[in-house]
């Protein structure tokens, strides 16, 4: 097969940042995806409906002329979030989820939740109004091994939370382990997961390939080959519980290539092409459309997009870097080839 036409996809987990960074990265996403679930971990974080609506306006204003793209906004949960704020957010019609960052788990998570029991009333309200909970699933105890933090989170936090709130819809974001695949695949109704391109295409060896590779560092960190294989098998199996969320997370080159580099991989420049490679390797290109364009929309209760995206199997070389305001952005696969490219994109968001 040299060409593939799929329904226009959605990126169900994306970091767009703000201001010059936003203007630099948004076109990559908007040329591929009709919509994206936009993460709220700005500085300061998007903790209220009002902030989410203002951020949405800035995103729309940053779109290149003539490009239609729908940002789907999220709230950043803190120990102070109130059930009333959830009601407001739901009533706005533009906030589609609230994100649980365990405090200290990742980039810009210091204002996050210190103990999930503190937000039980908020989670209860979310279940009532049918708002989706998006979860960064890692425990934050510095004594827990880096590679065990997701599995420990499932047992200690997520499984009990999902039981306490039986009707709450939960997206376990950017899953990285076989344990997470099993939890999601066998979980109760209303549990789903996003999967990134890097966790489908690379294992933790990629962090040390010929030297220390800061541009392969993200959180949750890349895991073992058995974990990668389990993720790929899960998405290739076509279950509607797994869907596309790139977690494209741009950081300036200087913030990555330093003694204490930021976590985050920029992949929006090839946000669907990289998945095509992964699905092709699994012999499951026929499952790409469900994963990229249907399962996420269905889970969020959104109409599926009506346009199409045409991918061609024609390799291209990724630039060494892209402009990023006054700085540079090093994309995933910089200077290397990607097997698929976009031939055409048609149609506005649903
Ligand atoms: O690698 C990551 N980068 N993981 C996250 O959870 C946050 C993200 C970011 O915002 O840079
Ligand atoms: Zn993220």
| Residue 50 CA, ligand 1 centroid: distance in Å | 23
| Residue 187 CA, ligand 2 centroid: distance in Å | 22
C-alpha–C-alpha distance, residues 290 and 198, integer Å? 19
Ligand nearest the Cα atom of residue 218: 1
Q: Which atom of ligand 1 is nearest to the CA of 218?
A: 1
| Residue 249 CA, ligand 2 centroid: distance in Å | 7
pLDDT at 349: 75
Across the chain, mean pLDDT equals 97
- Dihedral angle of Cα 5, 8, 13, 17, to the nearest 10 degrees: 110
pLDDT at 310: 97
Q: Which two tokens stand for residue 125?
A: 């309200």
Q: What is the pTM of this model?
A: 0.98
Please answer whether residues 311 and 341 qualify as being in contact, where contact means their C-beta atoms are separated by less than 8 angstroms. yes
Q: Which atom of ligand 1 is nearest to the CA of 39?
A: 10
Domains parsed from the chain with CATH numbers: 10-304 (3.20.20.140)
pLDDT at 106: 81
- The Cα diameter of the chain in Å comes to 52
Q: Answer whether 194 contacts ligand 1 (Cβ < 6 A).
A: no
Q: Answer whether 263 contacts ligand 1 (Cβ < 6 A).
A: yes
Q: Which atom of ligand 1 is nearest to the CA of 108?
A: 10
Q: Answer whether 249 contacts ligand 1 (Cβ < 6 A).
A: yes
Q: Which atom of ligand 1 is nearest to the CA of 265?
A: 1
> Using H for helix, E for strand and C for coil, what is the string for the chain?
CCEEEEECCEEEEECCCCHHHHHHHHHHHHHHCCEEEECCCCCCCCCCHHHHHHHHHHHHHCCCCCCCCEEEEEEECCCCCCHHHHHHHHHHCCEEEEEECECCCCCCCCCCECCHHHHHHHHHHHHHHCCEEEECCCCCCCCCCHHHHHHHHHHHHHHHHHHHCCCCCEEECCCCCHHHHHHHHCCCCCEEEEECHHHHHCCHHHHCCCCCCHHHCCCCCCCCHHHHHHHHHHHHCCCCCEEECCCECCCCHHHHCCCCCCCCCCCHHHCCHHHHHHHHHCCCHHHHHHHHHHHHHHHHCCCCCCCEEEEECCCEECCCCEEECCEEECCCCCCCEECCEEEEEECCCC
Q: Answer whether 107 contacts ligand 1 (Cβ < 6 A).
A: yes
pLDDT at 348: 67
Long-range contacts of 143-148 (CB under 8 A, 24+ apart): 146/221, 147/204, 147/221, 147/223, 147/224
Q: Answer whether 218 contacts ligand 1 (Cβ < 6 A).
A: yes
Pairing type for strands 308-312 and 3-7 reads: antiparallel
Is 247 noted as a catalytic residue in this protein? yes
- Write out the chain's pLDDT in tens, 350 residues: 599 999 999 999 999 999 999 999 999 999 999 999 999 999 999 999 999 999 999 999 999 999 999 999 999 999 999 999 999 999 999 999 999 999 988 878 889 999 999 999 999 999 999 999 999 999 999 999 999 999 999 999 999 999 999 999 999 999 999 999 999 999 999 999 999 999 999 999 999 999 999 999 999 999 999 999 999 999 999 999 999 999 999 999 999 999 999 999 999 999 999 999 999 999 999 999 999 999 999 999 999 999 999 999 999 999 999 999 999 999 999 999 999 999 988 876 76
pLDDT at 109: 85
Q: Using one digit for the tens of pLDDT, what is the confidence trace for 158-177?
A: 999 999 999 999 999 999 99
Q: Answer whether 15 contacts ligand 1 (Cβ < 6 A).
A: yes
Ligand nearest the Cα atom of residue 74: 2
206 burial (CB, 10 Å; 0-12 / 13-18 / 19+) is middle
Going by alpha carbons, the residue nearest to atom 2 of ligand 1 is 264
| Residue 17 CA, ligand 1 centroid: distance in Å | 11
| Residue 17 CA, ligand 2 centroid: distance in Å | 11
Q: Find the catalytic residue in 18, 247, 286, 327.
A: 247
């Amino acid at each position: 097969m040299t060409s593939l036409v799929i329904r226009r996809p959605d990126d169900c987990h994306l970091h767009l940042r703000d201001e010059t960074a936003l203007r630099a990265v948004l076109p990559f996403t908007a040329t591929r995806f009709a919509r994206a679930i936009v993460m709220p971990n700005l500085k300061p974080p998007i903790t209220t409906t009002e902030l989410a609506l203002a951020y949405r306006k800035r995103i729309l204003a940053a779109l290149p002329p003539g490009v239609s793209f729908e940002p789907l906004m999220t709230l950043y949960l803190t120990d102070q979030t109130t059930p009333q704020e959830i009601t407001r957010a739901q009533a706005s019609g533009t906030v589609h989820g609230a994100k649980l960052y365990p405090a200290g788990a990742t980039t810009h998570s210091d204002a996050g939740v210190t103990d999930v029991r503190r937000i039980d009333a908020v989670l209860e309200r979310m279940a009532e109004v049918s708002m989706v909970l998006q979860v960064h699933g890692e425990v934050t105890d510095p004594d827990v091994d880096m590679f065990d933090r997701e599995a420990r989170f499932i047992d200690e936090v997520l499984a009990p939370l999902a039981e306490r709130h039986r009707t709450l819809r939960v997206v376990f974001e950017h899953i990285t382990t076989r344990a997470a695949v099993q939890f999601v695949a066998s979980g109760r109704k209303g549990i789903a997961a996003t999967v990134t391109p890097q966790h489908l295409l690379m294992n933790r060896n990629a962090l040390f390939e010929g030297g220390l590779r800061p541009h392969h560092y993200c959180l949750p960190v890349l895991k073992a080959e058995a974990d990668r294989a389990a993720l790929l098998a899960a998405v290739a199996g076509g279950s509607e519980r797994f869907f596309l969320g790139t977690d494209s997370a741009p950081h300036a080159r200087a913030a990555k290539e330093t003694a204490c580099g930021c976590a985050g991989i920029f992949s929006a420049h090839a946000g669907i092409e990289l998945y095509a490679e992964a699905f092709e390797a699994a012999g499951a290109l026929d499952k790409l459309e469900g994963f990229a364009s249907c399962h996420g929309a269905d889970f969020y209760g959104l109409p599926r997009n009506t346009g199409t995206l045409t991918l061609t199997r024609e390799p291209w070389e990724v630039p060494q870097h892209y402009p990023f305001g006054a700085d540079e952005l090093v994309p995933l696969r910089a200077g290397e080839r990607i097997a698929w490219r976009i031939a055409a994109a048609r149609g506005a968001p649903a």
